[in-house]
Amino acid sequence: MAAAAATPESSGQPRIPRRRGFNLPVLAPNQRGVALSESDFEWMAEWGFDFARLPLSYWAWTNRKDWMSIDERALAPVDQAIEYGRQHGIHVNLCLHRIPGYCVNGRELEPFLLFDSPRESMEKALAAATHQWRFFAERYQAIPSARLSFDLLNEPPWMNDQARYVEIVHALVAAIREKSPDRLIVADGADLGQTPVPGIVDLGLVQSTRGYLPKAVSHYTATWVPKNEFESFAIPTWPLVDAKGQTWDREKLRQELIAKWQPLVALGVPIHVGEWGCFNRTPHDVALAWMNDLLALWKEAGWGWAMWNLRGTFGLVDSGRSDVVYEDFRGHKLDRRMLELLIAH
């Protein structure tokens, strides 16, 4: 995602290549002692991909009762992942999936909240969040942005007013740039990554969007998604006619996922699709047809992407689909048709 020179252009915006790859969420859970597999990086490089987004949880190295403490020994898996990226030519993007005060899953478990709480609570959370990113910026300041970028926080909440999120982003970016002025920084869109944020254009960031619409296709039968987010509960097809009679096809995807970002594109803001993918309960042919339309639109727009995930129920390795003839791949089950589709785009 980073240009050879990470310094923003005269427009104030960074320039980035179109990097494509995967989310590797092994480090997103809160437990310590887990590590990424080098084979993930080997396979991505072998297949021609060059981007790994690493969702992280600060709980893995900080006691949430003592937000300002960081156990550097617990960061060894992050250090190792960055090194794997260097060895295999994979750009690594570190994302605080759980940051002090917020997580898209279980935010109520945080001692203080970044959003929608009394000001004193929000300030305590923001102080801890800036401390975390300042620490990371200093720890990795010698690694160039061509190899390493930072994604501030994963999928901020639904919001009627973006002012608080803009305030948070400004504070986190300032903390990073104290220690690493040229670090390439990514900010997820508002509303779970789906809405552009005009109030941070002046900071010279990449903005990260999502590719999960319609949820009736991408998350068919997923129990963790609120029911009101599904357009239909029928067995998905593609194109899809939803419960309101609306047709979802490539042009509908263009309207929902591309068009709203064009005002930022016109200002030179780089856009990257930080997450997208399809749960393994969606019929395989439907999933591939939907994915083909998404990928074609992003290729046309010149946007890179990171699929969720490489291995697992949204991925192409060991995904557990009941309607796929898997290829044996070094002791794993590979969805070759999905891989070939991804490579082609």
pLDDT of amino acid 11: 61
Q: Which among 213, 212, 214, 113 is positioned nearest to 164, based on CA atoms?
A: 113
pLDDT of amino acid 64: 84
Q: Which among 27, 99, 35, 115 is positioned nearest to 64, based on CA atoms?
A: 99
Domains and CATH numbers, the chain: 20-212+272-284+300-344 (3.20.20.80)
Written as one letter, the residue type at 208 is S
Residues, the chain, total?
A: 345
pLDDT of amino acid 33: 79
Distance separating alpha carbons of residues 70 and 59, to the nearest angstrom: 10
Residues of the chain with pLDDT under 50: 1-10
Distance separating alpha carbons of residues 217 and 78, to the nearest angstrom: 33
pLDDT in tens, 120-176: 999 999 999 999 999 999 999 999 999 999 999 999 999 999 999 999 999 999 999
pLDDT of amino acid 65: 85
Q: What pTM was computed for the model?
A: 0.95
Q: Is 223 helix (H, G, I), strand (E, B) or coil?
A: coil
pLDDT of amino acid 3: 39
Beta-carbon contacts of residue 227 (< 8 Å; ≥ 6 apart)? none
